[in-house]
């Protein structure tokens, strides 16, 4: 893919010259400033995969992303990746809702665990906790199941823009929405095929989870999942810089907590269901929700999927400090009621219908099927 970088290579144009200079610094083990990272990203993105003239730039971008990850990004570099394209589509829409939780699942999906967040969003909407999910249809390296795949399978429209998502959030019969990176951040979406080739998670794999694609008039929170130990504090740092009222990171191979017991290898690394977060300006706190058996909170043994949705809806409400969730058992009870009454299912079906009434957006980025 493209050409190699020899000691005399300085780039074919001003954009490549800037990228080559930054890359040489990265390959030497150095780090870049906030404005320098943002400048490089805005110079080279979006990538046009159909333009042969971009072949050398593709190689340079690949090396840059890999080098930044290997060097372990600094806070200022992560902040630059996180905020680089906030204004790509203009100022964010502001939804007239009292509470909005931004859910940042790992974009490359799940291959082993039940992906519960989409259903948790429908449950939480029943009692006034609005949720905005975001992601992609498919992403390397895991290439697992994503919310977009599930919504498409169930017949929902996944080609919505931020303004349309705002309308769904404000709908009293809905209260949650999903946005694809394809429509919300087309420049970042243009890197998907390149990420498939480099095989390694770039810095974007961290920062794309901490997005506010739609803002809210009321309280805002961000919940993000992480795979690899060491990224929990950077994620919380980015959430604080976003200015949200509360933030939470969850470790379990995705975003959602599990009902399975601690494994025999739990002493290695962070335990199952490790959470860390903050509320307003309070200090970060770490906790573990571990060893929750199905019998301890399930009703009539309705199954592990039911239990997991209830656990995640209730615990997220409780840990974020949502109104009415100060007591964890009360938080779990209202999540159960939303499911048992059929209200959550009705909202989910309403979402499928409402999303399809909206005009489908054309993708602004083309990339080869993988």
User: Residue 39: which H helix or E strand, with range?
Assistant: helix 34-44
* Position 243 pLDDT exceeds 70: yes
CB 306 within 8 A of CB 340: no
* Cα separation, 230 vs 169, whole angstroms: 33
* Cα separation, 254 vs 225, whole angstroms: 5
* Position 288 pLDDT exceeds 70: no
pLDDT of residue 5: 56
* Position 277 pLDDT exceeds 80: yes
Of 255 and 276, the one with more pLDDT = 276
Q: What is the mean pLDDT of the chain?
A: 87
pLDDT more than 70, % of the chain: 83
pLDDT band for position 301 (cuts 50, 70, 90): low
Q: Is 18 buried (19+), middle (13-18) or exposed (0-12) by CB count in 10 A? A: middle
The residues, ordered by sequence, that sit 6+ positions from 203 with a Cβ below 8 Å of its Cβ are 65, 68, 69, 73, 77, 78, 81
Distance between terminal CA atoms of the chain? Answer: 16
Domain positions in the chain are 14-83, 93-354
**Tokens (6 digits) for 99:** 């509470």
pLDDT band for position 147 (cuts 50, 70, 90): very high
Residue range 351-361: average pLDDT? Answer: 89
Distance of CA 120 to the CA centre of its chain: 15
pLDDT band for position 360 (cuts 50, 70, 90): low
32-36 LR contacts (CB < 8 Å, sep 24+):
32/77, 32/80, 33/76, 34/76, 34/77, 34/79, 34/80, 35/80, 36/80
CB 318 within 8 A of CB 325: yes
* Position 254 pLDDT exceeds 80: no
* Cα separation, 231 vs 225, whole angstroms: 10
pLDDT band for position 267 (cuts 50, 70, 90): low
162-168 LR contacts (CB < 8 Å, sep 24+):
162/89, 162/92, 162/93, 162/213, 162/214, 163/93, 164/358, 164/359, 164/361, 165/93, 165/132, 165/213, 165/214, 166/93, 166/94, 166/95, 166/214, 167/358, 168/351, 168/354, 168/355
* Position 315 pLDDT exceeds 90: yes
* Position 138 pLDDT exceeds 80: yes
Q: What is the pLDDT of residues 177-231, one digit of tens each?
A: 999 999 999 999 999 999 998 988 999 999 999 999 999 999 999 999 988 888 9
* Cα separation, 113 vs 252, whole angstroms: 9
Instruction: Give 93-354's CATH code, choosing from 3.40.50.300, 3.40.1030.10, 3.40.50.2300, 1.10.760.10.
Output: 3.40.1030.10
* Cα separation, 327 vs 127, whole angstroms: 16
- 12 to each of 49, 56, 157, how far by Cα in Å? 18, 9, 42
pLDDT of residue 75: 97
In the numeric block, the tokens 């010259």 are attached to 17
* Cα separation, 101 vs 111, whole angstroms: 25
What is the phi-psi region of residue 110: left when phi exceeds 0, alpha when psi lies from -120 to 50, beta otherwise? beta
pLDDT of residue 280: 80
* Cα separation, 296 vs 162, whole angstroms: 40
CB 137 within 8 A of CB 370: no
pLDDT of residue 365: 46
In the numeric block, the tokens 């039911």 are attached to 306
* Cα separation, 89 vs 185, whole angstroms: 8
pLDDT band for position 281 (cuts 50, 70, 90): very low
What is the CATH code for 14-83? 1.20.970.10
pLDDT of residue 257: 82
Distance of CA 12 to the CA centre of its chain: 35
pLDDT band for position 126 (cuts 50, 70, 90): very high
pLDDT band for position 252 (cuts 50, 70, 90): low
**Tokens (6 digits) for 291:** 């060893």
pLDDT of residue 1: 38
pLDDT of residue 259: 74
pLDDT of residue 65: 96
pLDDT band for position 66 (cuts 50, 70, 90): very high
Of 299 and 253, the one with more pLDDT = 253
In the numeric block, the tokens 């390296």 are attached to 141
* Cα separation, 302 vs 370, whole angstroms: 38
Q: What is the pLDDT of residues 79-118, one digit of tens each?
A: 999 999 999 999 999 999 999 999 999 999 998 888 999 9
CB 40 within 8 A of CB 64: yes
- 318 to each of 130, 151, 195, 273, 329, how far by Cα in Å? 15, 27, 36, 15, 9
* Position 253 pLDDT exceeds 50: yes
* Position 238 pLDDT exceeds 50: yes
């Amino acid at each position: 893919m493209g050409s190699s970088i020899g000691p005399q290579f300085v780039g074919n144009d001003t954009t490549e010259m800037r990228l080559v200079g930054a890359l040489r610094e990265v390959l030497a083990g150095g780090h870049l400033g906030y404005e320098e990272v943002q400048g490089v990203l805005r110079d080279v993105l979006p990538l046009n995969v159909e333009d042969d003239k971009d072949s050398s730039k593709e190689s340079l971008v690949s090396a840059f992303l890999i080098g930044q990850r290997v060097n372990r990004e600094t806070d200022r570099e992560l902040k630059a990746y996180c905020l680089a394209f906030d204004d790509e589509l203009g100022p964010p829409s502001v939804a007239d809702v009292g509470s909005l939780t931004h859910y940042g699942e790992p974009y490359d999906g799940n291959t082993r665990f039940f992906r519960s967040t989409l259903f948790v969003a429908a449950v939480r909407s029943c009692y006034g906790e609005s949720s905005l999910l975001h992601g992609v249809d498919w992403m390397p390296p895991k290439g697992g199941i994503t919310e977009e795949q599930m919504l498409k399978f169930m017949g929902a429209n996944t080609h919505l823009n931020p303004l349309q998502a705002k309308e769904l959030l404000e709908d009293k019969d809905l209260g949650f929405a999903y946005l694809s990176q394809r429509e919300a951040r087309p420049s970042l979406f243009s890197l998907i095929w390149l990420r498939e080739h480099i095989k390694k998670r770039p810095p974007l794999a961290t920062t794309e989870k901490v997005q506010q694609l739609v803002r809210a008039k009321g309280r805002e929170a961000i919940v993000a999942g992480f795979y690899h130990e060491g990224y929990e504090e950077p994620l919380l740092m980015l959430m604080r810089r976003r200015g949200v009222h509360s933030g939470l990171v969850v470790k379990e191979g995705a975003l959602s907590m599990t009902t399975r017991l601690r494994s025999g290898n739990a002493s290695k690394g962070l335990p199952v269901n490790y959470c860390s977060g903050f509320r307003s300006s309070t200090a970060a706190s770490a906790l573990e929700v571990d060893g929750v058996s199905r019998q301890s909170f399930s009703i009539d043994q309705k199954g592990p999927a039911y239990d997991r949705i209830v656990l995640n809806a209730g615990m997220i409400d409780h840990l974020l400090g949502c109104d009415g969730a100060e007591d964890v058992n009360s938080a779990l009870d209202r999540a159960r009621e939303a499911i048992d009454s059929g209200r959550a299912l009705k909202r989910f079906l309403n979402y499928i219908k409402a999303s399809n009434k909206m005009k489908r957006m054309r993708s602004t980025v083309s990339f080869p099927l993988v």
